[in-house]
Amino acid sequence: MKRISVVAPVYNERENISNFINKVEVSLKKCALSYEIILVDDGSTDGSYEVLEEEAKKNGHVRVYHFTCNNGQTAALDAGFKKATGDVVIMMDSDLQTNPEDIHLLLPYLQDYDMVNGKRETREDGLKRKISSIIGNGVRNFITKDNIVDTGCPLKVFKKEVVDSFYLYEGMHRFLPTLAKINGYRVIEVPVRHYDREFGVSKYGVFNRLFKGLKDAFAVRWMKKRALRYEFKERREECSN
């Protein structure tokens, strides 16, 4: 396996950070000789800054960046994607609700696809979030004319050229599989495990995500319809005299 970059936003996850890094490293060492773990601090106020700095000092594989204030999940991912140096980029949340070991379920699909989107087999974070996820994904697919079952799954694997093709705006992290398809890349969904949080609480409200996602879905539909698509004709060889 070539060099791997793991990108994870961090927002008030002080109790999860060290455990997250340890579990990701255990997983990566099984498949990659070269890797980096990029953690983007999205303006945390709970002491995550100090934990991140300490982890970066003792581990050369950990790269840490701190926003001056809270800019949101899309901004944190965009910054991480731009900093990534790997041939393969793995996106995860730092709350450990997905299992780093499931990386190995997704990586083999890069032989035939450009992006692998995790699909949570179960939702272990409450009935309200399960319902909101089903409704949200259904509405997004209806508006964008896509068929992604779980666009909100935080575990995704990309070839580097896919993340380099993204030009993200606020809220676009909810549509990465669709954006990859718009840019001409091949996408597949693969089932992964999902867990409830051990520490901390979710930083994103259910209804807040639903209404913002609805507005953003119309923007993505507009982008999909307006995407440039063209091919060049093969040039005829000029007759030699």
H, E, C per residue of the chain: CCCEEEEEEECCCCCCHHHHHHHHHHHHCCCCCCEEEEEEECCCCCCHHHHHHHHHHHCCCEEEEECCCCCCHHHHHHHHHHHCCCCEEEECCCCCCCCHHHHHHHHHHHHCCCEEEEEECCCCCCHHHHHHHHHHHHHHHHHHCCCCCCCCCCCEEEEHHHHHHCCCCCCHHHHHHHHHHHCCCCEEEEEECCCCCCCCCCCCCHHHHHHHHHHHHHHHHHHHHHCCCCCCCCCCCCCCC
- What is the average pLDDT across 84-102? 95
pLDDT of 138 reads: 54
Q: What does the pLDDT read at residue 130?
A: 54
Structural domains of the chain ordered from first start: 4-226 (3.90.550.10)
Residue 178 has pLDDT above 70, yes or no: yes
Higher pLDDT, 68 or 172: 68
The residue that leads in pLDDT, 181 or 126, is: 181
